[in-house]
Amino acid sequence: MKTKTYAGIPEELAKLEQAKIVLIPVPYDGTSTWQKGADKGPEAFLNASENMELYDIETDTEVYKQGVYLAEAITENSSPEAMVDAVHQATKKYIKKNKFVTIFGGEHSISIGTIRAFNEMFPDLTVLQLDAHADLRESYEGSTCNHACAVYEASQTTNLIQVGIRSMDIIEKTVMDEEKTYFAHDMAVDDNWMDSAIDQMTDNVFITIDLDAFDPSILPSTGTPEPGGLLWYETLEFLKQVFEEKNVVGFDIVELCPNPKEKSSDFLAAKLYYKMLSYKFKNEDTEDDYDNSFDSTYVNKNNSLKFVEDDDY
Ligand SMILES: [Mn+2]
């Protein structure tokens, strides 16, 4: 990857020790079924980020001054399971270093690893998923680590809230909690969906954004575009409210499938990432230490038996 620091920020703001924010790129595209190319997502996102202005008008902040450490990209791709495990371990490692951890994919299966890490480190976790697809299959094409299964585990082990859904298989209805699902066709005619979704969240929230949640008119460069998606300002309004009212513990953004002839999707992803950081840190002084409030004594008992523990870090 060509980029040395995130968004070309000065090196003293990009050192792990000082940085409050960690960004882990995961250029993985092992199981996608239709258009390939999500493995190129992190590089396109980083290139667009370098060409973005770093003052955020809305919050009147320059969040990059909190420090952003660009971690080594996770390139494990010997199997979907090995990739998920590598993502899980790296995410956990940086949470334990008391950082605000963010991950850029790659296809959505990487989130199995990110969610597993956050769920182990933070009690009563809500997973807020913005996505066109339900991604609730228990396994797909012989693997439980397929992108079609991205939030199956989350549906069993966390408080999962799904927003923007407009495509699914009928079998996923057996897993889906429709009370906590915000279908795009309902959102289009319901002014209350944001408040209702936020009311269902616990305090600790991890956000996973599949970029196909957005309408293809503003984000065409994704593996499986679906009409009828979220628009820019409504999404920001919702996210801003979540950041204000909840303790957002981290987030990932996935499924950018860049097209060299269409750069606006890359820029949307870059700007979305930066907006989310701006909302998270808008009241934090750059001099203050960050406390991601993970509880080192906390062991998620629901998960501890199911997943392989690795506390080498
Ligand atoms: Mn998805």
Report which of 79, 81, 80, 69 is spatially closest to residue 25, judged by C-alpha positions. Answer: 69
pLDDT tens profile 111-158? 999 999 999 999 999 999 999 999 999 999 999 999 999 999 999 999
pLDDT tens profile 161-211? 999 999 999 999 999 999 999 999 999 999 999 999 999 999 999 999 999
CA of 29 to the centre of ligand 1 (A): 13
Within the chain, residue ranges assigned H as helices are 41-50, 80-96, 110-121, 152-157, 184-187, 193-199, 232-245, 264-281, 301-304
Helices 264-281 and 41-50 sit at what angle, rounded to 10 degrees?
Answer: 70
For residue 220, count CB atoms less than 10 angstroms from its CB and return exposed for 0-12, middle for 13-18, buried for 19 or more: middle
Q: Is the entire prediction scored with pTM above 0.75?
A: yes
Per cent of the chain over pLDDT 90 is: 87
CA of 245 to the centre of ligand 1 (A): 25
Tokens read off for 104: 């850029």
CA of 154 to the centre of ligand 1 (A): 13
Reported as half-sphere exposure (CB side, CA atoms, 13 A), residue 35 has a value of 16
Tokens read off for 302: 């629901």
CA–CA distance, 249 with 109 (Å, rounded to integer): 20
Backbone angles phi, psi at 293, to 5 degrees: 60, 25
Report which of 222, 273, 214 is spatially closest to residue 52, judged by C-alpha positions. Answer: 273
pLDDT tens profile 154-167? 999 999 999 999 99
Contact 159, 153 (CB under 8 A): no
Query: Scanning the structure block, which residue is given the tokens 């371990």?
Result: 89
CA of 284 to the centre of ligand 1 (A): 32
User: The dihedral of CA 22, 295, 242, 187: what is its sign?
Assistant: positive
Bridge-based pairing of strands 204-210 and 181-183 is unpaired
pLDDT tens profile 254-306? 999 999 999 999 999 999 999 999 999 999 999 888 999 887 777 555 554 44
Domain range annotation of the chain: 6-287
- What local confidence, expressed as pLDDT, does residue 278 receive? 98
- What local confidence, expressed as pLDDT, does residue 307 receive? 44
- What local confidence, expressed as pLDDT, does residue 312 receive? 47
pLDDT tens profile 214-250? 999 999 999 999 999 999 999 999 999 999 999 999 9
Query: Scanning the structure block, which residue is given the tokens 């989130």?
Result: 111
CA of 159 to the centre of ligand 1 (A): 17
Reported as half-sphere exposure (CB side, CA atoms, 13 A), residue 198 has a value of 16
- What local confidence, expressed as pLDDT, does residue 14 receive? 98
CA of 25 to the centre of ligand 1 (A): 17
CA of 12 to the centre of ligand 1 (A): 35
CA of 261 to the centre of ligand 1 (A): 24
Q: Does domain 6-287 have CATH number 3.40.800.10?
A: yes
* pLDDT-derived band at 2, boundaries 50, 70, 90: very low
Residue 311, pLDDT > 70, answer no
CA–CA distance, 5 with 161 (Å, rounded to integer): 33
CA–CA distance, 107 with 118 (Å, rounded to integer): 18
